[in-house]
């Protein structure tokens, strides 16, 4: 009796697994629009050189303390609110507000109190400072009459031995990119930034440039193509 039962069980299982898929489940509900799956997503991935904070730390572990620099807007802080405010006040119809000194005077005099520091930047700065590296901030902003940016960023980002922010906007320079002179002046070894100009200024200065991702809700458009120059891109750096 046991032998018959075992043979019957084996036969039944074999029959079930030999049935067509349609016989094992109900007719599949048709899709209503194009979708995706992980295999398709992986096939569509651009070959970007992603790096992590731990990876950067490992890559410089045998190097002595160095000078590193960061862009400000969309790199260490989400500052779109300040620029949205400035546009609405000074030139609602276009971007000419960026060329108005009164905008820069106002924005640099305290608006960054309302800017949100990026967690990725704080973690990156902490890693560098634990190594004994010196942090500099280099921005494309035009300097204002009252620089409160330096103090605000020092507090919000936890920067030690804070150096005055380098405001490069509107300054004459012999280099192609306006941040290059400050990178060279301060003997920077690694520069971090979200814009193409950050990456290209680092290249022009002959140093390592690492791209930081711009937040998806930034009003600084069009968005750059991270990794488009073959540079390293910091993962999870949009916030």
> What is the SS3 assignment for 239?
coil
Q: What is the DSSP letter of 73?
A: B
Terminal Cα-to-Cα distance of the chain (whole angstroms): 68
Q: Looking at 62, 71, 133, 197, which residue is catalytic?
A: 71
Helices (H), 45-169: 53-59, 80-90, 101-107, 119-131, 149-157
Candidate list 73, 194, 197, 198, residue with the active-site label: 73
94 as an active site residue: the answer is: no
Residue 237 structure tokens: 């750096």
Q: CA 164 → CA 63, 145, 148, 235, distances in Å?
A: 25, 14, 10, 28
Q: Is 133 a catalytic residue?
A: no
Alpha helices in the chain (DSSP H): 2-18, 21-24, 38-44, 53-59, 80-90, 101-107, 119-131, 149-157, 180-185, 196-205
Residue with tokens 């998806």: 216
* Residues identified as active-site: 71, 73
């Amino acid at each position: 009796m046991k032998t018959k039962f075992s043979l019957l069980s084996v036969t039944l299982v074999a029959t079930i697994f030999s049935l067509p898929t349609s016989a094992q489940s109900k007719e599949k509900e048709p899709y209503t629009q194009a979708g995706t799956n992980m295999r398709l997503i992986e096939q569509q991935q651009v070959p970007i050189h992603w790096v992590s904070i731990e990876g950067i730390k490992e890559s410089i572990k045998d190097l002595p303390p160095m000078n590193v620099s960061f862009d400000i807007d969309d790199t260490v802080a989400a500052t779109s609110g300040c620029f949205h405010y400035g546009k609405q006040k000074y030139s609602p119809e276009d971007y000419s507000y960026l060329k108005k000194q009164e905008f820069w005077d106002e924005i640099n005099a305290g608006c960054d109190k309302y800017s949100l520091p990026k967690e990725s930047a704080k973690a990156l700065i902490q890693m560098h400072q634990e190594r004994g590296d010196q942090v500099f901030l280099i921005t494309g902003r035009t300097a204002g009459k009252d620089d409160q940016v330096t103090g605000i960023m020092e507090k919000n980002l936890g920067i030690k031995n804070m150096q005055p922010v380098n405001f490069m906007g509107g300054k004459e320079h012999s280099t192609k990119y306006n941040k290059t002179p400050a990178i060279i002046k301060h003997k920077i070894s690694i520069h971090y930034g979200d814009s193409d100009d950050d990456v290209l200024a680092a290249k022009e200065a002959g140093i390592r440039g690492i791209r930081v991702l711009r937040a998806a809700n930034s009003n600084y458009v069009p968005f750059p193509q991270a990794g488009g120059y073959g540079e390293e891109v910091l993962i999870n750096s949009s916030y």
